[in-house]
Amino acid sequence: MKINKQVEEVLNKQINAEFWSAYLYLSMSAYFETRALKGFANWMKIQYQEELTHAIKIFDYINNRGGVVKLEAIPDVPVKWNSILDVFQETYDHECKVTAGINNCYETALAQKDHAAANMLQWFIDEQSEEEANVLQIIDQLNLIGQENGQAIYHLDKELGTRVFVDSTQPTA
Ligand SMILES: [Fe+2]
Ligand SMILES: [Fe+2]
């Protein structure tokens, strides 16, 4: 059965939101580069890569279901933040908005009785919980060590520098 048209519409919007997220995190990565925080910059660049895979997962899904992908312009993203904590707070707030978008897609799929789409969206629901938890953990760490604690920030930067990209949209062997 071809994808439901209303589901197609909200999924196309979600593709745009995922690309915007990718842009946001790439901009945050550049901000950290300007502050010589290479590890934070690395973490955000991987976040950027993850968001691209999310967009492509939905892109492939629409195509596989005989739908029409509609790629829209990606709005500008911020370029400056006041602090490291500020960046992660914005990341968390943004992820909550993305979660709301995913929930809306899921509810639309259910309302339109497109159970295949609802099933696909389950993956995103789990992914969002994980992402929110990861960001909250970093916020907790930042609050614990304090903004001015250079040595602790240095160590956290080293830790975030070890993050490597894993495409979680692909099945693991
Ligand atoms: Fe995402
Ligand atoms: Fe995300």
Say yes or no to pLDDT of 148 above 90.
Answer: no
pLDDT, position 141: 96
**Whole-Å CA distances, 164 to 84, 136, 159:** 20, 19, 11
pLDDT at 171 over 90: no
- Determine the distance separating the centroid of ligand 2 and the alpha carbon of 96, expressed in angstroms: 9
| Average pLDDT estimate for 22-48 | 98
Task: For residue 91, report the distance from its CA to the centre of ligand 2, in Å.
Answer: 8
Looking at domain 5-160, which CATH architecture does it have?
Answer: Up-down Bundle (1.20)
> Is it the case that residue 93 has pLDDT exceeding 70?
yes
Instruction: Give the Å distance between the CA of 94 and the centre of ligand 2.
Output: 8
pTM: 0.96
Q: What is the mean pLDDT of the chain?
A: 97
